[in-house]
Amino acid sequence: MINRHFKIGLRNITKNKGFFALNAGGLVIGLTAVLLITLWVQSELNFNKSLTNYNKIASVMQTQYRANDDIRTYTGQPMQLAPVLRKNFGNHLKYIATSTRSQNFTISYNGDMQKVKGRFSEPDLAHLLDLKMVAGNRKSLEDISSILISESAAKDIFGIEDAIGKSLKINSGLDVKVTGVYKDLPNNSSFEGLNFIAPWELLKKNAGYDKRLGWGNYWFQVFTQLSDESNLASTSNLIKNVFNENYINKNPNRDYQLFLQPISKWHLYSEFENGVNVGGRISYVKIFGVIGIFILLLACINFMNLSTAYALKRGKEVGVRKTLGSSRLQLIYQFFSESFIIIIFSFALALLLTYLLLPKFNLLTLKEMEMPFSSSSFWMICGVLILITAVLSSFYPSIYLSAFKPVKVLKGLVSGSKNEVRIRKSLIVVQFAISSILIIGTLTVITQINHAKDRPLGFDKELLVSVPINTSKVRNSFDVIKNELLASNNISEVTASDVKITAAYTTNGGSFEWKGKDPKLNAEFWTIRATEGFGKMINWKVLQGRDFSKKFPSDTLAFLMNETAVKYTGLENPVGEYIRWGNNGNYKVIGVVKDMVTRSPFDEITPSLFILHKGDFLSYVNVKIAADNPNAIEGAIDDLKATFQKYDPKNIFTYSFMDDEFERKFNSTSRVASLVSWFSLVAIFISCLGILGLSTYTALQRKKEIGIRKVLGATIYTIWELLSKQFIILVVISLLIALPIGYYFSSKWLLDYSYRIEINFWMFALVTFIILGITLLTVSYQAIKSAISNPVDALRTE
């Protein structure tokens, strides 16, 4: 019987190829989008899960409770914390490791140099990550002159040579010997691309951290692995007051509380507000999960609409079958079998299309996903997806077709019932409402990005290049290097700073005092230290007072404030006032500069101080390329490279343009916008396929009516209006539903940004224009085709 059902189903499909193409086409596109979204969501949810000790790994974080209900959460920790935890809580924490953050270092071997991503860490990190050693052993990291490198790094550096025992230099100054090679860590993890781990003690000794850094310097990360008997919540509570109990010089107006953040939350739940974990990338997972459900629903609605519309053509078939004794259940099986054939065929094509599109999708999402054909869980998800699609798209059409009355259908009296027509119209409304909501979301994201990109920065980022300072030789020779670079026709200005202009950092601690300050206020400023001429180079606007100048030696103890800092301090006439900066002394305010965007372009301006400085804090040489020289860019880079190779030959020369740095701040949001845009197009396309099929079938149903109207003098416009009006009304209803829903969710999403757009009328007008325009184009094709057809063909007797 089952075999017969499938044979009849295949015959019907081959007989009605146009219907099959429309139905299968919508499903293939929809299922492909759903599969891509599923792979992406699965990748996000499985982040870090491939690490052996996933259920036991955590990072130590701190929450600072300040006056005026100001609560901040930090990932950084002082280097003094891990030894205290090891001493007092070693029975609860199996492994504890202080670590720098992952970054690129210059690795030298026999004169050859390359950039390699790595960390300096205590030995426990190797055990915590359960490194799979190809050669050597993890314990060798206890030797201060050792280094563990990944398998890929060993191949890049040494080729086919044995890496063990080979000597390397890190950043030209630290001599180490390879004592272990480990398998590369998983790509889908927080330690992706970690190609070496060097001893923490080596860095600490070389940098003199013992003399320089205290409990107030939260520069590092502390990772832990719980012992087998320990519980995360109870252990987190045990270490809660360690900071307060050991930080002798802590701010009396602050309460420092530690807690353990499990590895399961590092990636998806990284954002905190007022001490509460409010989410992070999990919001993207939810957004795309909902989009995936929407697209699947659209594809199924499309299938249902076309199937129920096509059902009228098969009324006599149902009547004959029922007359010959077929039960309703047998008919349900028959029609479900036919639908199932289309679904299985569509799913197979969708799998193939997903496989072909995945490399492009990976480029868009910056992931390295593969089709998990060997994964049983993947095939289980596919099975569930097929089942859901089959039920959603086939259940109602099968019930509807099997309910026809034999007497009526054999007399040719079957037409769409009122209930069936209502359901079909309702489904069209749902389809276009979903598509409209997705378009509103896409427009909101794109407009917000453009709003931030067009934001006045308060400085000039064009033709500005920054080169990192890797050695003290460059730092100590800055004046000489500056003069050599200024001798070039390609370079107009040269300065140095501690950070890039697009990456100011916070200086906190309640150590700032000024006239009229609230004693309970824990003052916090964002700072940039730079040499003379920095302001002129970036073309900042001095609104009050003056810029730093060599004419005034006292400027080494002076501040320039931004407008927000003036409001923050409450100083009515700030120029000439003094701000005490802890043990650094009293700094005179010599000027006020216009607010500049020195952090995220989506956030509000922070109170900032600018300091004239030379010495150990300088980390970048900044160069302004001559604007009047058309070939200056390439020439300036060549000049910079030659100069840096002269003064720093043991490190790889690298540089970055500030306009590129600024553009990178939009990468994450831009990727979301691109994905939402593509999936919105998919949703619209599926909806259009459905309305094209329905308009075609409506035209066929009313073929004789159209012929009679034409004979009686109806114009092309009249016929077009007749066939188009009902669909336009349905789309207008869908817009009335979608616009307020889209407004609500878009407004909610925008609350994550301090600097944000207001949702304006033009966005809704544009969405209305897009949806109505697409609907008219889709429906008009069939309407005009019917309107210009020969009425004789429609009225000819069968």
pLDDT tens digits, 52-83? 999 999 999 999 887 666 788 889 999 999 99
pLDDT at 4 over 70: no
Beta carbons of 97 and 129 less than 8 angstroms apart: no
| pLDDT confidence bin for 301, thresholds 50/70/90 | confident
- The pLDDT value given to residue 781: 73
- The pLDDT value given to residue 168: 93
pLDDT > 90: percent of the chain: 40
- Cα separation of 13 and 16, whole Å? 5
DSSP 473: H
**589 strand-pairing partners:** 559
Model confidence pLDDT, tens digit, residues 654-713: 899 998 988 888 888 888 888 888 888 888 888 887 777 677 667 666 667 777 777 777
Q: Give the lowest-confidence range in 118-122, 412-416, 588-592.
A: 412-416
- Cα separation of 176 and 169, whole Å? 6
Q: Give the lowest-confidence range in 159-163, 165-169, 430-434.
A: 430-434
pLDDT at 163 over 90: yes
493 membership: H or E segment, kind and range = strand 491-497
pLDDT > 70: percent of the chain: 86
| φ, ψ (nearest 5 deg) of residue 180 | -165, 145
Q: Give the lowest-confidence range in 40-49, 258-267, 304-313, 400-409.
A: 400-409
17 membership: H or E segment, kind and range = helix 17-45
Model confidence pLDDT, tens digit, residues 434-450: 889 989 988 998 899 88
For the entire predicted model, the pTM comes to 0.83
pLDDT at 41 over 60: yes
- Cα separation of 746 and 511, whole Å? 41
| pLDDT confidence bin for 797, thresholds 50/70/90 | very low
- The pLDDT value given to residue 482: 93
Higher pLDDT, 452 or 3: 452
pLDDT at 334 over 70: no
pLDDT at 9 over 50: yes
Model confidence pLDDT, tens digit, residues 126-155: 999 999 999 999 999 999 999 999 999 999
Helix (H/G/I), strand (E/B), else coil: 314: helix
Structure tokens at 390: 């089959």
| pLDDT confidence bin for 522, thresholds 50/70/90 | confident
Residue with tokens 């030789």: 473
